[in-house]
Amino acid sequence: GELPIKYTICTSKESEIWIPILIAYKSIVVFISLVFAFEIRKVKIKEIKESRMVTFSVYTIIVTVTSTLPVLYLLPEEKTVTFAIVGALCLILATVLLTVNFLPKVRN
């Protein structure tokens, strides 16, 4: 027969308080990164020629996070689907960012 699927979920009575606090904190950090990336995107200093890549990386992370969070809250009971979506997005995001940031350096 089939084996039952079991999940272990770590929860707390304070989860309803701490999760929004953590999301707010991380949102503030990403917003500050976005402001810095926006400010340095047109810098033409030779030593800081990666400023456009930094801006692209921050924008890509913001788009990925804002598209992933609703999925996590819309499918709370579908643990396998949620895990697969988050895992796939993390792998795709890491691959894209590493390729975009380091491929030009490898080519030169």
Full-model pTM: 0.64
Helices marked H in the chain: 15-40, 51-74, 79-107
What digits encode the pLDDT tens for the residues 38-77?
A: 787 777 777 666 777 777 888 888 888 888 888 888 887 7
- Banded pLDDT at 86 (limits 50, 70, 90): confident
- The owner of tokens 């033409």 is 44
Q: 3 in the Ramachandran plot: left (φ > 0), alpha (ψ -120 to 50) or beta?
A: beta
How far apart are alpha carbons 73 and 53 in whole angstroms? 31
How far apart are alpha carbons 77 and 75 in whole angstroms? 6
If we measure between CA atoms, which residue out of 29, 80, 4 comes closest to residue 21? 29
